[in-house]
């Protein structure tokens, strides 16, 4: 039984790369065609594989159903945590993870700076959409019509002199974030604090979270914080890859 299971898994892996004929599969496995055919028929009955008119085998619909469920079951906080911890250790700065829930950007994880002053943010607390890097990243990923609706219904509380205060400025900022692939909070939410945020995507390419790093300017000035962007982008890409995302593909396992 274990040998049959092993062969079936090898077949699925091969079909994930390209279509194969019965002869090709038998040759690759170095077994008789009847053995491979028996496995294929079993998997075909459960929709894990299917064959076309030329008797070339491909992955079946059941396989993709399970793949999509597997992607949905991956909890972004659990997947992201070791990556965020490593970023926190390497930079020594405050790291946030946020998701878009019920029209708000909500912090779902946080690693405090190892030495500098702690940020006001806390897990479970909403982040202002108009003046935080995570808020801008998450809203910029929404459909444009929804962005416009959000821009005209949120309150533009002014936290600092740099805080965005009109729907027009906010929508322009969201377009900039979408174009450049990251967001800034340049002393907009807290005076003397700069922040950069990057999207995290799942296997379908949907932005499901945002990771950010916040730094008081007594430690790093605005330009220096922007200089850390490649490291944050790399972390976001690693988390996204663990969630099944691959650049250039709409759906990945």
How far is the first Cα of the chain from the last one, in angstroms, to the nearest whole number?
Answer: 26
Q: From the centroid of its chain, how far is CA 58? A: 28
Q: Residue 59 is encoded by which pair of tokens? A: 């992955």
Q: What percent of the chain has pLDDT over 70?
A: 92
Dig out the tokens for 30 from the structure: 């170095």
Q: Calculate mean pLDDT across residues 184-212.
A: 93
Dihedrals phi, psi of 20, to nearest 5 degrees:
-140, 150
Residue 240 has pLDDT above 80, yes or no: yes
Tokens 């801008």: give the residue. Answer: 136
Decide if 34 contacts 19 (C-beta within 8 A). no
Angle made by CA atoms 134, 171, 216, in degrees to the nearest 5: 35
- Note the pTM of the prediction, 2 decimals: 0.72
Per-residue pLDDT of 96-130, as tens digits, reads 999 998 889 999 899 998 876 666 667 878 899 99
pLDDT at residue 55, rounded to an integer: 85
Q: Can you list the alpha helix ranges (DSSP code H) found in 96-201?
A: 133-140, 144-153, 167-180
- Average of per-residue pLDDT across 184-209: 93
Q: Could you report the per-residue pLDDT of 51-76, keeping only the tens digit for each? A: 988 889 999 988 878 776 665 556 89
Joined together, the tokens standing for residue 73 give: 């079951």
Overall average pLDDT of the 67-90 stretch: 83
Determine phi and psi for 186, rounding to 5 degrees.
-95, 80
CB 79 within 8 A of CB 239: yes
């Amino acid at each position: 039984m274990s040998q049959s299971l092993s062969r079936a898994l090898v077949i699925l892996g091969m079909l994930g790369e390209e279509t194969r004929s019965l002869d090709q599969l038998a040759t690759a496995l170095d077994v008789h065609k009847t053995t491979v055919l028996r496995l294929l028929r079993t998997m075909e009955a459960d929709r894990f594989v299917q064959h076309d008119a030329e008797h070339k085998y491909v992955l079946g619909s059941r396989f993709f159903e399970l793949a999509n469920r597997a992607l949905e079951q991956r909890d972004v906080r659990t997947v992201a945590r070791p990556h965020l911890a490593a970023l926190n250790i390497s930079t020594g700065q405050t790291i946030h993870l946020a998701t878009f829930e019920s029209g708000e950007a909500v912090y779902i994880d946080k690693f405090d700076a190892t030495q500098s002053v702690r940020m006001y943010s806390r897990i479970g607390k909403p982040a202002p959409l108009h003046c935080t890097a995570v808020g801008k990243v998450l809203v910029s990923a929404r459909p444009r019509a929804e962005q416009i609706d959000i821009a005209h219904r949120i309150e533009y509380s002014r936290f600092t002199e740099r805080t965005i205060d009109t729907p027009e400025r906010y929508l322009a900022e969201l377009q900039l974030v979408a174009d450049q692939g990251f967001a800034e909070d340049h002393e907009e939410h807290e005076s003397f604090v700069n922040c950069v945020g990057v999207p995290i995507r799942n296997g379908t390419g949907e932005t499901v979270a945002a990771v950010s790093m916040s730094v008081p300017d007594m430690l790093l000035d605005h330009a220096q914080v922007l200089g850390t962007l490649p490291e944050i982008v790399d972390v976001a890409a690693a988390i996204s890859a663990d969630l099944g995302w691959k650049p250039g593909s709409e759906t990945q396992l």
